[in-house]
Amino acid sequence: MKRLIKKQVLIPVLALVVLVGASSFKSDFFEIAKQIEIFTTLFKELNMNYVDETNPAELMDSAIKNMLDELDPYTQFLNEQDVESFKINNSGEYSGIGALVRSYENKLVVVEPYQGYAADKAGLKAGDEIIKIGETLVADFDDNAGELLKGANNSNVQVTFLRQGETKTATITREGVEVDAVPFYDMIDEKTGYIVLSRFNRKASKQTQLALQDLKGQGAERLILDLRGNPGGLLSEAINVTNLFVPKGELIVTTKSKVKKFNQEYKTRNKPEDLEIPLVVLVNGKSASASEIVSGGLQDLDRAVIVGARSFGKGLVQRPLKLTYGTQLKVTISRYYTPSGRCIQSLDYWNRDKEGNAVRNTNFNEFTTRNGRKVWDGGGVMPDITIESLKTNSLIDALEANNIVFDFATDYYYAHNFDSVDDFYFSDADYQSFKSYAAEQNFSYQTNTEKVLEETINGDDTLLGSEVQEKYKDLLLAVNRGKITALDTFKDEIQKNLEDEILTRYFYRDGLYKYYLSHDDAILTAKELLADKSKYSNILK
């Protein structure tokens, strides 16, 4: 749905937006003012004289996004809708249909309906492709069509969707949705408690504290805190969650910036909940930002054993800065450092390769924890105990990026039936079916080895001669054959992703976490470690 904005209105808006940012760079004021004037003149002349009718709003949106793309992916321009979504994400409350949806060019795909909320009650399932909302075709809507699903409590919205090739409709009554930071907690055995912390919104520390108190009331003498898949959130909540297990006044994070006021030390401010309970924290490659502040801080202070796979590696801090007309600039203002002094940022966005991609840090500096254990910076939080099935690689990333696992799980759901979590079993025959399905999708991904080989084959250097060039081609073919066998090589890692996706279809998140209690490699390893007091203590020493 396109909206044309009058050119005469937009030009001064641009000047105001950019000038707000310019005030921070007084030393370069003349150069900034010069570039603003050039851009303003260009934008005005372009819109007045271009041969066809232009859309100033779309042009400006493209200009801003391209400018910010030169920096890092976390520095973003937020329009009014984005600002509202940002607030909702931090508060954990909004009004809508109660489902996670993914936006594509001509459809919205339901990724996960939240159990008991409006979309679930209306019968929507993961994998449903929403093609029409009310009278609006998703394919004709220029902005994020997911916004059309939000609305006032008790208002109705009709959606038209495709399910397994069949067109269906549903009327959904919107309602208030509360997104819990702690969606699940339970006792694993009579002495071991388990808490899932899935995000760091404003409820994170309080819900974690209440869960811990409840578990201790049930007899928990040791604890597993699961941060896998937690993308982060509020810095203050990361400090408060850490504070549950460490004393008041403990330094958790230091931020360093070129702007003096952003150089700060963040210490715990509250009375801890429990300083003695043995603690294991689970992380994986999707544990980022605030999750890494908690896991990295507890590791540096020797307060917890970290189990899982290397975390994402986001050591950058963002702050929203207000602009005009209700918009904001979410800008990276500083890097953060854990108690030992390490920054775990893994990608260098300011030194890119010739293809423009951020360079991954490979040279790590050594630091020491409070007890003198060795830890390293620059590559996320490295676990004290690694779980192989949680590792990722280019194949697993490609399967996810191409929705191969997601789409297979959708088909699997409609072809199989399980009455309870205890009945679920993903067999070797099921995995063979997945391999066949993946091969049929013709998805592609490129390994680092392939990149080097192709650059050599296609390069201008003729010194190697045709014979060597042919050898390179043979190697490239061998790599492609190896990619097929990789589905077997990394069966454990891929099958875990498949089981997670499939179980959620049948039994929601609650059922998935219950399944974890007796089947998940990381939880079983953590449970065994916590039961062995000597081994647990020796790791922290």
Instruction: Please identify every residue annotated as catalytic.
Output: 289, 300, 314
With tokens 């996706």, the residue in question is 501
Rounded to 5°, angle at Cα 208 from 204 and 214: 150
β 358-360/347-352 pair status: antiparallel
- Please report, as a single letter, which amino acid is at residue 320: P
Handedness of CA 281, 282, 285, 287 (dihedral sign): negative
Matching residue, tokens 């249909």? 97
Chain centroid to Cα 414, Å, comes to 28
Burial class (CB in 10 A: 0-12, 13-18, 19+), 444: exposed
Q: Is 447 helix (H, G, I), strand (E, B) or coil?
A: coil
List the one residue out of 375, 373, 380, 372 whose CA is nearest residue 344.
380
Q: Which residues contact 283 (CB under 8 A, 6 or more apart)?
A: 227, 228, 291, 292, 295, 306, 307, 308, 309, 310, 311, 381, 383
For the chain, how long is the longest CA-to-CA vector?
Answer: 77
The whole-angstrom separation of Cα 485 and Cα 478 is: 11
What phi, psi does 129 have (nearest 5°)?
Answer: -105, 105
Q: Are the beta carbons of 179 and 117 closer than 8 angstroms?
A: no
Cβ–Cβ < 8 Å for 213, 244: no
The alpha-helical segments, DSSP class H, found in 359-490 are 394-401, 404-415, 428-440, 448-458, 465-489
Please give the DSSP secondary-structure letter assigned to residue 302.
Answer: T
**Torsion angle of C-alpha atoms 20, 26, 28, 34, degrees rounded to 10:** 50
Angle, helix 491-519 to helix 428-440, in steps of 10 degrees: 140
Helix then strand count (H, E) for the chain reads 16, 23
The torsion angles phi and psi of 161, rounded to 5 degrees, stand at -145, 160
Local structure of 44: helix, strand or coil: helix
φ/ψ of 470, rounded to 5, equals -65, -35
CB atoms within 10 A of CB 93: 14
Give the Cα separation of 471 and 476 in Å (integer). Answer: 9
**Residue 2 parent element (H or E):** none
Please answer whether residues 174 and 157 qualify as being in contact, where contact means their C-beta atoms are separated by less than 8 angstroms. yes
